[in-house]
Amino acid sequence: MHKLLRPCWRNLHFHRRNAANLRLAEQQQRWSSTQEMRTLEDVIADRRQQANRSIVVQVNSERSFSELFTYCQQFGEIEGCHHYKLSHDELHYILVEFQTESSAEAAMSSSCFNEDLSGVPIRSPFLWFRAGKKKGSPAKSASPKTSLSSLDGIHTIPNNELDDLLMASQDVEGQMQTLHRSTVLNDLGTRLRFLAARQVESTIAGMFPNANALPFGSSVNGFGRMGCDLDLILRFDKDSHLGCKSIDSRLVFHTKETLSNGRSQMQRQMECIGDLLHLFLPGVYHVRRILQARVPIIKFHHEHLDLEVDLSMSNLTGVYMSELLYMFGQIDDRVRPLTFCLRRWAQTCGLTNPSPGRWITNFSLTCLVIFYLQQLKEPILPPISLFVKSAKSNDLRVTEDGINCSFLRDVRNLPFKTENKSSLTELLLQFFEFYSQFDFNNRAISLNEARNIVKPDHSAMYIINPLEQHLNVSKNISLEECERFRIEVRNAAWILESDMERNTSNESREEPWGLLNLFRTPEKTIIRPNMFFKPRLVEVSELFDDSSADGEHRNLEFKNSTV
């Protein structure tokens, strides 16, 4: 089905923009509800196929759309087109989704390299559209402009617009829903993340035909917001995570002996992959290797997507954990809006921080939310042990390191139903109250059992890692940060309670209220221990030396990699 190309957001009047945001949110919600009850594995498989049918083409502006559409039709039927623009630049892109994978392949096979550029000639789904040979005579188009569209963008809603939407909400519950709808990762954001994965995968496909780059974390688990990073795991053997091996064939590949120390081997391979990405991949910049971490990663920035990527090669439990988080979000409608609200609260009061360190991470915070919902008198979420007990034979998963990650994947078969009817507002307030009294000094949190147990060591905060139960998810958190968490939840409970007392009636409000007060805690009411507060570190990316953005666009060309 073809959709309409939407004009650039910035040119629209503010109110129209708000209306557009809401429309987008509704569209997104409709899309997610159709996905609602499928397993994450199925959703990921579909998204991967969608990426295989798609290309991303840099264009002069959205006005190039009809010409590009007409040009691309020669490769096959087009399913849809999505326009986005990078905010810091005037660079425009159109994602073209064909109906079949072979059409996308044909588009790439017909693309050429630009002899004028000194870049490495590498094939990838990132292309640019140059002007037709005869200047001033654009190709005749079958007026697709009226029948095609793009409704999404890739940008986070600006704070002032979000504030206006929150201001206009009915009540705190409405604010929480609005926050969730207007900040959740949209369809285009998801498509582009899968295209980034495909680019990595297809680059090394010659040497590793079974390579599999699999997105996990907030990009797929339902807790991702616009602009969230992409966590990617790169496996050389496509089926290794399913424990399948082809035992029928009598012909066996010779392979290179691996080093005796598996971790050193992994670090060496990652170094090599890091170099490959850095030297050859179009759009990939600012590659950093963090190989001494428990899970070694390569970080990079993708300039065509304005996206931070964390690539690992050895963290399958992270992928399986994403499945658990995804199902927790599926079980009850309140889980995601509540978590989004708490993630934003933690961000605005500086509890979370984009750079790794001694502060609470979004993942630990999400575990705290899940535990809180599990331990209620009338639980909203079940213990993980129930997923394990309910596992069927097709749910069997064991990692290479022997970690058993077998648990039920299809949430429809989970024998659990909640009778809890609490509103989101009540849950939010009770979350703050619960953790302001939680005995972090002596107790550890078990999501597996949905109860707290005696703390096994002296870590400031102890959340038992659900899949590797001898590990602590929040081991990184310092005593000071744990204390700060306690202070902030106490303050938040106080702010929210007093706000609700003030705003009992539905009269028109002129002052910030509800979440706006929670997110903008007045400095005077906060007991902020400044000596513990570390300013956020902003990473400066090496970006945009794109010599192709000179306006001299002609037919489809590969985006070359320049180093």
**What does the binding site for ligand GTP look like in residue numbers (CB under 6 A)?**
216-218, 221, 223-224, 228-229, 231, 317-318, 321-322, 325, 361-363, 465, 467, 473
For residue 126, what are its two tokens? Answer: 């990132």
Span of 221-229, 399-407, 527-535, 554-562 interacting with Mg ion by CB under 5 A: 221-229
Shortest reach from residue 216's CB to ligand GTP, in Å = 6
**Burial status of residue 123 (CB atoms within 10 A of its CB: 0-12, 13-18, 19 or more):** middle
Q: CB atoms < 10 A from the CB of 243, how many?
A: 11
Nearer to Mg ion, 227 or 350 (CB): 227
Q: Binding to Mg ion by residue 546, rule CB under 5 A?
A: no
Return all residues near 251 (Cβ < 8 A) that are at least 6 apart: none
- Counting residues that bind Mg ion (by CB under 5 A) gives 4
The binder of 361, among ligand GTP, Mg ion, none, by C-beta within 5 to 8 A per type, is: ligand GTP
Shortest CB 231 distance to ligand GTP, Å:
4
Cβ distance to ligand GTP smaller for residue 209 or 402 = 402
Q: Rounded to whole angstroms, how far apart are CA atoms 77 and 99? A: 6
Phi and psi torsions of 442, nearest 5°: -120, -15
Q: Give residue for tokens 């053997």.
A: 237
CB of 318 to ligand GTP, least distance (A): 3
Q: How far, in Å, CA of 323 to CA of 356, rounded?
A: 23
Show contacts of 477-480: CB within 8 Å, 24+ apart. Answer: 477/358, 477/359, 477/360, 477/364, 478/358, 478/359, 480/358, 480/529, 480/532
Q: Report the partner that residue 561 touches, choosing among ligand GTP, Mg ion, none (CB closer than 5 to 8 A by kind).
A: none
Q: Which is nearer to Mg ion, 229 or 237 (by Cβ)?
A: 229
CB of 200 to Mg ion, least distance (A): 16
CB of 346 to ligand GTP, least distance (A): 10
Could you tell me the two tokens for 371? 């535990």
Token pair in block for residue 239 = 């089926």
Q: What share of the chain is helix, strand, coil (3-state, %, to 5)?
A: 40, 15, 45
Give whichever of 189 and 217 is closer to Mg ion, judged by the CB atom. Answer: 217
The DSSP code for 240 is G
Task: Give the containing element (helix H, strand E) for 410.
Answer: none
Stretch that binds Mg ion, among 82-90, 225-233, 248-256, 331-339 (CB under 5 A): 225-233
As measured in angstroms, the least distance from the Cβ of 320 to ligand GTP is 7
Cβ at position 380, least distance to ligand GTP in Å: 20
Compute the C-alpha angle 467/473/477, nearest 5°: 175
Cα distance between residue 37 and residue 49, in whole Å? 19
CA distance 246 to 466: 31
SS3 state at 27? helix
Nearer to ligand GTP, 219 or 517 (CB): 219
Query: Residue 367 in contact with residue 452, Cβ under 8 Å?
Result: no
Measured from the CB atom, the residue of 94 and 305 that comes closer to ligand GTP is 305
Q: Is 231 in the site for Mg ion (CB under 5 A)?
A: yes
CB of 62 to ligand GTP, least distance (A): 29
Q: Residues, the chain, total?
A: 563
- CB nearer to ligand GTP: give 174 or 318: 318
DSSP character string of 160-216? HHHHHHHHTSSSHHHHHHHHHHHHB--HHHHHHHHHHHHHHHHHTTTT-TT-EEEEE
Q: How far is the CB of 503 from ligand GTP (least distance, A)?
A: 31
In whole angstroms, what is the distance from residue 290 CA to residue 299 CA? Answer: 8
> Smallest distance, Å, CB 340 to ligand GTP?
11
- In angstroms, the Cα distances linking 287 to 123, 130, 270 are 20, 29, 12
Stretch that binds Mg ion, among 128-136, 222-230, 434-442, 485-493 (CB under 5 A): 222-230
The residue number whose beta carbon is nearest to ligand GTP equals 217
C-beta of residue 545 within 8 angstroms of C-beta of residue 557? no
User: Could you give the 3-state DSSP secondary structure of residue 107?
Assistant: helix
Stretch that binds Mg ion, among 102-110, 209-217, 341-349, 475-483 (CB under 5 A): 209-217
Instruction: Tell which one of 171, 229, 237, 332 touches Mg ion (CB under 5 A).
Output: 229
Answer whether 12's CB lies under 8 Å from 153's CB: no
Distance between CA atoms of 312 and 300, rounded to whole angstroms?
Answer: 12
The nearer residue to ligand GTP, 52 or 459, going by C-beta atoms, is 459
Reading the block at residue 105, the tokens are 């392949």
* Nearer of residues 104 and 307 to ligand GTP, judged by Cβ: 307
Applying CB under 5 A, which part among 92-100, 200-208, 227-235, 488-496 lies near Mg ion? Answer: 227-235
Give the one entry of ligand GTP, Mg ion, none that residue 178 binds, where binding means its C-beta sits below a cut-off of 5 to 8 angstroms depending on kind: none
Contact with Mg ion (CB under 5 A) among 217, 222, 283, 382: 217
Instruction: Give the range of 25-33, 143-151, 229-237, 445-453 binding Mg ion by CB under 5 A.
Output: 229-237
Query: What does 316 interact with, of Mg ion, ligand GTP, none (CB < 5 to 8 A by kind)?
Result: none
d(CA 15, CA 18): 5
The residue at minimum Cβ distance from Mg ion is 217
Of 321 and 384, which has the nearer Cβ to ligand GTP? 321
Q: Which is nearer to Mg ion, 218 or 330 (CB)?
A: 218
Minimal distance in Å, beta carbon 297 to ligand GTP? 10
Between residues 218 and 267, which has the closer beta carbon with respect to ligand GTP? 218
Least distance to ligand GTP from the beta carbon of 364, Å? Answer: 8
Binding positions for Mg ion, rule: CB under 5 A: 217-218, 229, 231
